[in-house]
Chain A
Amino acid sequence: MSLLSAQNVSHGYRSFSLLGRSRYHPVLGDVSMEIGRGETLALLGRSGCGKSTLARLLIGLETPMHGDIRFERKPLNNLSQADRLALRCAVQMVFQDSISAVNPRKTVGEIVAEPLRHLTDMTVAQQSQRVVELLESVELSAEDAEKRPATMSGGQLQRVCIARALAPKPALVILDEAVSNLDLLLQIQTLDLLRGLQEKSGLSFLFITHDLRLVERFCSRVMVMDGGRIVEEVAVRGEVRLEHPASKQLQDAILPAWPRGCAKPDLAGDDVRQPMIANV
């Protein structure tokens, strides 16, 4: 069943200054898409193609100029109080820059508990118990709840952000370039972690990225965006073969696995997706 969908959504921005307002700058044109329960959908595109704008619309941070965003078939701009709360619980987001996504003055425990304070009627004791559970589910320890963001590394802090997103038991987590700032080992560890969480709780991911390699490892379906439109959509099984020129460009830009002049070993089981192993 469709969890969250966009129908013929168009959106754009206009800037205002002392000299008057500028021309309307379209960002999204006629985008239709949907995300079902338990799937991992990749949104792939170059920077500036409108990926993040679509994410902001889907989560209800902005209202589209034209078209509808629907949450469980109910339009977002017309939700009842109860449905709105359900949406806030059901759809959570993790941003690229973890350092600016947390309040440096709060402890990790307070940061993770924030959605619980606003969205649930848990008592303080229940909240702190849930915080411990959440920290452990992202492979941090209960003692980390006392730490402040400045004392943690980028990878740990991104896990705090993931724990915060998981706090209200969402059905969908939007990952807006959530691993792009981490080094490769950490990217793979984080994606491993997310996949494990998905297997346990059946949640969906919208994975926004420009790296096709990660899509092949992590996602079940990929949508390619270019110039504010969705130009291609394919299911992912092993290696992805894309057709559209914009997708081809992204595909061609993938860096080589081996340096030139290397004896390349035979590729075994190429089309079977293997689990990601970070530490051999």
Chain B
Amino acid sequence: MSPTLLSISDLTVTTQKHGKTCKLVDGLSLDITSRRVLALVGASGSGKSLSCAACLDVLPAGVKRQAGQVKLDGTGINFAALRGRIVSSIMQNPRSAFNPVMTMKAHARETLKALGLARDTGNVGILAAFRDVGLDEPERILNLHPFEMSGGMLQRVMIAMALLGDPPFLFADEPTTDLDLVVQKHILDLLESVVARRGMGILLVTHDMGVVARLADDVAVIDAGKIVEKAPVQQIFERPSHRVTRNLVAAHLSLYGQEVA
């Protein structure tokens, strides 16, 4: 049976600045449940992406995970063991996430190899995953290089690769930020159907409250590395309690000519 609860607790990420230790993420705790989308929201530079990277053990050089545990259905697990097997991830800029001299086929093979899947069953999986994300001619697309594809297509391929190992959880770090609105809509529809059909749990990192309104079930608001408010999405929009949350919701609603309650 696949796990249904991924809990991260007391995650603290630090860096050294002028000889002093500086906390970038401070005691962050999150519970990601299968079949639900948890949105991690905050302004740029608030530590959203670093929290994701720390969970997957892929922090940039000079940045250290000082503390933190992760539990899968209540059992402790190593951070490094999450990546790719239990949590797969999709990143913000699809263009820089692919190797420019490799075809999509080579990328997919690499993923299969990392997952330890056999070549022929893997190939069937690739074609199915590509169709699953709405890429209609997988055979043709497998032979393309990244520069021959649009940002939206690349993002779909990235999601397809993330689904290959059929992991129970997905981290989506600003999955639609650089895409145009029409493509954004398609990607969000796609993520919604992934939750519904595969029963995945998604951690959605974003600064766009429109994306949150469209997709999220629960929201955690982060400011300067700390979670300042955690609530179901309706409560965040109807009755935001923290100042940071109010500002985010107010800015979002002002685009629609509305005001926060």
Contact = CB atoms under 8 A, between A and B. Distances in A.
Interface of A: 46-48, 153-155, 182-186, 188, 210-214, 216-217, 238-239, 249-250, 252-259, 261-263, 265, 267, 269-270, 273-274, 276-280
Given A211-B181, A256-B213, A263 B238 contact: yes
B64 interface: no
Interface of B is mostly: helix
A255 B208 contact: yes
Contacts of B212: 259
Given A249-B182, A265-B261, A280-B246, A188 B251 contact: yes
Contacts of A217: 254-255
A46 B180 contact: yes
A150 to B, nearest CB: 14
Given A254-B181, A262-B234, A277 B213 contact: no
Interface in B239-257: 246-248, 250-257
B260 A280 contact: yes
Contacts of B150: 47-48
B44 A183 contact: yes
Contacts of B209: 184
B237 A154 contact: no
Contact of A259 (B44, B213, B250, B251): B213
Contacts of B126: none
A253 B184 contact: yes
B258 A255 contact: no
A177 to B, nearest CB: 10
A158 to B, nearest CB: 12
A278 B253 CA distance: 10
B195 to A, nearest CB: 14
A265 B234 CA distance: 13
B247 A280 contact: yes
Contacts of B256: 213, 257
B30 interface: no
